[in-house]
Amino acid sequence: MTRRALGTPFQLKEFLMRFWCSAVTAVALAGLAACGGGGGGGGGVTPILPAQAMNLSVAINGKTAAPDGAGQYAAKPGDTIEITPSIGADWAASAADPSAITLRSASSSSTKWSAQLVNNTTAPVVYTVTAKQGSAASITKDAVFKVSGGNSQNGSYRVWATNGTQSQLALNFDTGTYDMTDSAGQVSSDSFAADPGEQGTYVLKSARLKAAYNAARFRATGDAVVGSFPFDDPQLASTATVQPFVASRAPLTAQADLDGTYTRLGVNYGPGLRDSQIRRVQLSAGGTVFQQCNDAAVVDMANCTPANLITYAVTPAPNNGWSYVNVANPVDKAAFTVAYVGGQRVMLASGLDQTGSQRVFRIGVIATAPTANTARGGTTDGGWGALGFDPVNASWTVTKADGSSDIQSLAFSNLGYPAGLQSAGASPNAYFFMQNSALSVAVGARGNNGAGYMHFGLVN
C-alpha cells in the first residue's frame, strides 16, 4: 500500500489545526482563536464558555416536588420548603400582598433556601422565591408556590381565665404553634398537637407544666376556644397553675344585642380563699340597663326581693367590653364582655374585685333545660375531662393533675331554681349545673367541699 505524502511542515501544521478545530466544534466549543486560517503566528488557544444555567431543586416537607403545568408548586400553610440551586445563589422573595405570607425558621445560604410558610389569610397566595447568581445578576430562576389559604381558626383570641386574669392567645393550626401573652406582655410560646385519644381536643406543650398529668388542652369552635393553660398564679409568686379558660375573638359590639337573662356562675380566688357565686342577671333596654338579684336563694328576676334587685347603668368600655355602675352607689361598679361561643352569647368577666384583694371569674349563659350531651374541658384543680348531662343527671370523668381519676354521677334536684339551673349532690358535696347548646358548666356550692371549684367544657 502506498502512503500519501502530507507535504511540507507548514502544510502538516495547517492540516492538524483544521482537524483539531473541527473536533472542538463538534463538542460545542466555538470561537477558538487561530482557527479557520492559514496564517502564522502560533498563538495560544482561549475558549469562551457558554453562559451557565440556574436550575432549582425543590423539596416540600422533605420530599422532592415538581411544578404543575403552570409552573407552580402546590403548598399548604405550614409546609417546610427547601430550594437547592445548581450554582451558588443569592435570594429574593415576593408576594402580591407582602403581609399575606410570613416565614418561620427561615434560613438561606448560597447553597440552600428553606423556611416554613405561613399564610396569614384564608385565601390562596402566590409566593415567589428567586435565586440569582451573585456575579451575574442576569442568571436567575424563580420557584413559584401557590400557597393555599390558612386555617380559618388561626388568629388571636381574648382569654378569660378562672384565676381572675386575662390574656391574649394567638393560635396557628397550620404550624401547630401558639403564643399566650399575659396582661404584663410576657409571652409563652410553644407547640400543640391533636390528642390521639380525644377527637377535637388539642394538647398544649409548655415548659411551665409540672404536674404528672398534662391538662393543658383546648377545643375550638368557630370564633371561640375553651381549654386549660398553666397561667401564672396571681396569688402565688413564681408559680404556674393549670386553670380553665374561655377565649373568643367575636365580642358583641352592638349594645342592643346584649339584652337577655343570664344565669351566671363564678369563682372567687384570694389568699387562702376559694369561693363560689351564683347569680341571676338581666340586661335590658337595648343593653343600657343591668340588673342583678342578690337574694341568698337563686330566684328568677320576677321573684327577686325588691331590696336585693340592684340596678346598674351600662356604658361601653375598652376592648369591646362594657362597664356597669350601680345607679344608687357609684362605688359599686365592674366590667364584662359578651362574646359568641359556638354561636351562643356568653357573658364573661375576669379580674380584681372592688377591694383589690380577690380575683374573680364569671361566666353567664342564657341557660336551657338540660339535654343529653357531653362537654369536654378543664377543672380549677388542674384536671381535664368529660362533663355529661342528660335530662335528669350530671356525670363527669376527669383525669386529675396527679394522674388519678375522678368519676361521679349525680341526679338533678331542681328545687325551684330558675329554668336551666340545676343542683345535684348533697352537702358537703353539692354542685350547681347549667348549659346552653355550646357550653356545659359546673360549680361547687358555697359552704361545701367544692366551693370555688369549676368545671366547664365545649359540647361535642
Q: State the Cα–Cα distance between residues 194 and 203, nearest whole angstrom.
A: 6
* Out of 11-20, 163-172, 257-266, 344-353, least confident range: 11-20
**Under 8 Å between Cβ of 320 and 337:** yes
* Chain-centre distance for alpha carbon 136: 43
Q: State the Cα–Cα distance between residues 221 and 223, nearest whole angstrom.
A: 6
Q: For position 24, what pLDDT does the model report?
A: 38
- Of 187, 193, 228, the C-alpha closest to 211 is 228
* CATH 1.10.150 for domain 155-248: no
Q: For the chain, how big is the Rg over CA atoms in Å?
A: 35
* CATH 2.60.40 for domain 56-147: yes
Q: State the Cα–Cα distance between residues 79 and 59, nearest whole angstrom.
A: 10
Residue 63 has pLDDT above 70, yes or no: yes
77-124 pLDDT tens trace: 999 999 999 999 999 999 988 899 999 999 999 999 999 999 999 999
Q: For the chain, which residues make up each domain, given as ranges?
A: 1-38, 56-147, 155-248
* Chain-centre distance for alpha carbon 14: 78
Q: Which residues contact 42 (CB under 8 A, 6 or more apart)?
A: 34
Q: For position 2, what pLDDT does the model report?
A: 43
Residue 1 exposed, middle or buried by CB count within 10 Å (0-12, 13-18, 19+): exposed
* Chain-centre distance for alpha carbon 237: 27
Q: For position 11, what pLDDT does the model report?
A: 44
Confidence (pTM): 0.84
